[in-house]
Amino acid sequence: MSYTLAEIAARIGGRVLGDAGVRISQINTLERADSSQISFLTNSKYHAQLASTNAGAVILGEADADATGLPRIISANPYAYFAKVSALLNPFPQTLPGVHSSAVVGEGAQIDPAASIAAMAVVGRGVIIGAHSVIGEGCVIGDNVVIGRNARLYPRVVIYHGCVIGDNLIAHSGVVIGADGFGIAMDEGHWIKIPQIGRVVIGSDVEIGANTTIDRGALDDTVIEDGVKLDNQIQIAHNVRIGAHTAIAGCVGIAGSTTIGKYCQIGGSAGILGHLKIADNVVIAAFSLIGKSIREAGSYAAIFPFSKTDDWRKNAVHLRHLDDMAQRIKRLEQQLSKQESLKGSTA
């Protein structure tokens, strides 16, 4: 598959400068691209590589329009443009529609004839699967699940009964949607299980990374709104709601009944405690625990800075005495201010 710059611009937009007939078959970094490949500059740190690249063409922002004589496409958002060109050059591999002979499909399931069910998959009773959706090898889709169009479930995704999923879902291997939330009540020395009777409801255009888990609601539903992007190994507890277009990096844990706004960005291994509200457009740094609601857009962090272990040990020991340090500073201030006022009065 290859396209000329003119063909690319006709499909994706942007302004071509230089030879629009250059034919491009793949995307690559400035450092590694060859003459059949297009590259891109989105980080001024790599500006110097523009002079030495062997790329056949480049994608540049307006400010860099004249930074090279190479054939180029100018875009207001070269990173998004690069993503679109890459999608054009690297479409999902075609999957033949139909149900593999080894798959097991339950009674009353409605699988669109243009959908594909791979080997070893198990589709429950009453499941509905939309056109062009691909259910990968070994996936297990619980009874009465509804999946929209163009979903792509990689091998070994599990969706528990009754969950509802919009169009264009991408779910990577090992994802578990709709397992029971962690609901237990103490009764005379024993934990009793609280049945989790809510569902997981997922909007459209959501991507979920490998081995991420999203628990079903206890009474109400757990909700993932449109356009949410989840990396690998994220844990989303029961009755969480994640606002549209929020992006969450790997290994994040979100405790039960927390609501996260739209367009938030949460760094890797961060955590959010339960029953909180996080406003729209909040950015949370990696490794930070959010223990209270955040009402205001902005950037938040809670990271202990690393150092050589010997230095860390010397400093960290004082963390158990910070209150004492604070009291001593206050006492020093009082002593000194008393001295000064005495001096004033005796002057």
In the region spanning residues 39 to 58, those forming contacts with a second copy, defined by CB under 8 A, are none
Selected catalytic residue, list 132, 161, 238, 275: 238
Nearest to 244 by CA among 226, 229, 257: 226
**Do 174 and 159 meet the contact criterion of CB atoms below 8 Å apart?**
no
Tell me which of 245, 277, 280, 281 binds a second copy, using CB under 8 A.
245
- Only one residue has tokens 């860390």, namely 312
Tell me which of 247, 277, 279, 293 binds a second copy, using CB under 8 A.
247
190-193 vs 170-171, strand pairing mode: unpaired
Contacting residues for 269 by C-beta, under 8 A, at least 6 apart: 249, 250, 251, 252, 286, 287
Nearest to 164 by CA among 148, 151, 146: 146
Cβ closest to a second copy, residue 11 vs residue 21: 11
| Whether residue 238 lies in the annotated active site | yes
The residues pairing with 179 across neighbouring beta strands, listed in sequence order, are: 215
Instruction: Pick the stretch among 2-10, 53-61, 66-74, 304-312 that binds a second copy (CB under 8 A).
Output: 304-312
* Count of residues that interact with a second copy, criterion CB under 8 A: 127
Question: Which 190-229 residues touch a second copy, going by CB under 8 A?
Answer: 190-195, 197, 205, 207, 209-211, 213, 215, 219-220, 227, 229
What mask of x and - would describe binding to a second copy in positions 258 to 287, judged by CB under 8 A? ----------xx-x-x---------xxxxx
Tell me which of 84, 95, 128, 281 binds a second copy, using CB under 8 A.
84
- How many angstroms separate the CA atoms of 257 and 275, rounded? 5
Question: Which 2-41 residues touch a second copy, going by CB under 8 A?
Answer: 26-29, 32
Residue 95 near a second copy by CB under 8 A: no
Dig out the tokens for 36 from the structure. 């059949």
